[in-house]
Structure 1
Amino acid sequence: MISIKNFVDGLARRGSRPQTYNPYRNPDLTNNLYHYLVEIKQHCDQPVLLVGEALGFKGGRLTGIPFSCGDVFTRFNHPLLAELKSKLILSSRESENTATMVWEYLTEKQQTPLFWNAFPFHPYQVRRPKTNRAPTAKEIQQGSRYLQQLADIFQPTTIAGIGRKGQLAAQKAFPNHAIQRIRHPSFGGKREFIEGMNALFNANRLNHL
């Protein structure tokens, strides 16, 4: 089984490509991701794995951690965020809507899933690095091995996609799993996101009784 350190080092070795930025070329952000994954491993056994699309320019591009932004580490009183705060190197306290909605929910429910993305880097529009774009089919295919490696480390029994591309990527990476789709909270999807997350965690709890 690959170790967390080897997994993170593998991400760092990938060069940035046209319209794609690899934040893990920055050792500070590699450090952040490493501590996030170690804390998840220590915090919960076989966490629920939630798969999104890609890192955003206001969020994971700046923190190195999927579904996060600098602002959530001081804004929300979640045990994982509290543990991580002193270990991270953050150059920005930027706020991102998706990360804010996600951690608002997780703090209220005191849940700690493992977040990852179909494409674990930041794809952006031509000559506009401070934008987001959806990852291509080829990029999602490239991201599949990282997703599989992560699952090998954490052995999640429940895997779900946040948004259509997250679900499809997870289904391709894990064809023998039934992958639930949860509505992405952006663009008016917050209520359906909450409903989907509630159903997911309730089902996961019952499966472990």
Structure 2
Amino acid sequence: MNSIDDFVLRLSKKRNTSVIKNPYLDPALANNLRVYLNAIDQLNYKPVLLVGEALGFKGGGLTGIPFSSGQIFERFEHPFLEQIRPDLVIENMESENTATIVWEYLSERRITPLCWNAFPFHPHPKGNRFKNRAPTAKEMKSGARYLRSLQALFQIDTIVGVGNKGAQCAKKAFPDKDILAVRHPSYGGKRDFIQGLDEILFSRR
């Protein structure tokens, strides 16, 4: 795997199951991810890599972009979002809590990380694609391979696990790296998430 196109193609080959939906089977969503990653690649600095849990059915499962939702492109005036929006196909303008908190934070501070997940697909209860579930240990192990490929592609130095699953996956994927961690912003974790990221992003400059 030596290019963004190769990486996206690899993701798009995974089949759906009764408990996993792969949004990248949709060419439009696969291209959304390609647009996103190419724009990250064009930044004039190495971004921080934020590793969350998995795509949600209201968020990345509809946009193809981790830590996003259709609604963030309407709500937030972040230069990065405004840059990529014309090249995206977004048919559903759902709001998703985690994406909203994350991009509210990023918009206020005008920073752009590389967002990814421990499991890069949408895990859901059997037969119900309109709910989320936590990825299993086996799914996170498979997700770590994609995470390593992404890190190699972008040569990221600073990796931050968002929530327990994100931190666990990052530590397993990179046992020799110093993995940082912040609380997941959902379920009352917004304040700690903001404080943790502020300490990582601004105290290290």
Residue 100 of structure 2 is aligned to residue 100 of structure 1:
yes
5+ residue gaps, structure 2: none
Give the alignment's Cα RMSD to 1 decimal.
0.9
* Whole-angstrom CA distance in 2 between matches of 1:127 and 1:3: 34
Name the structure 2 match of 1:5. Answer: 5
Question: 1:93-129, CA deviations, whole angstroms, 9 ceiling, x for partnerless residues?
Answer: 0000110010000000011000000000000012221
Report the CA distance between 1:180 and its aligned residue.
1.2
**What corresponds to 2:81 in structure 1?**
81
- State the AA in 1 paired with 2:142: Q
Structure 1 unaligned spans of 5+: none
Q: What is the rounded CA distance, in whole Å, between the counterparts of 1:54 and 1:203 in structure 2?
A: 28
Q: Which residue of 2 aligns with 1:146?
A: 146
The letter of the residue matching 2:3 is S
Query: In the alignment, residue 109 of structure 2 is paired with which amino acid?
Result: K
Q: Could you state the TM-score of these two structures normalised by the residue count of structure 2? A: 0.98
The secondary structure found in structure 1 opposite 2:116 is strand
**Do the aligned partners of 1:44 and 1:112 also contact (CA within 8 Å) in 2?**
no
Distance 1:2 1:49 in 2: 19
* Matched pairs, number: 205
- Structure 2 distance, partners of 1:97, 1:28, is 23
Instruction: Report runs of 4+ in structure 1 exceeding 6 Å deviation.
Output: none
Measure the CA separation in 2 of the matches of 1:50 and 1:192.
Answer: 15
CA distance in 2, matches of 1:55, 1:44: 27
* Aligned residues of 1:51 and 1:118 also touching (Cα < 8 A): yes
Q: Residue by residue, what CA displacement relative to the aligned partner does 1:137-160 show, whole Å, maximum 9, x if unpaired? A: 000001111100100111111001
Q: How high is the sequence identity, in percent, across the aligned residues?
A: 53
Match of 2:156 in 1: 156
Partner Cα separation in structure 2 for residue 25 and residue 169 of structure 1? 24
- Structure-2 separation of matches of 1:117 and 1:160: 11
Residue identity matched to 2:91:
S
3-state secondary structure, aligned to 1:43: coil
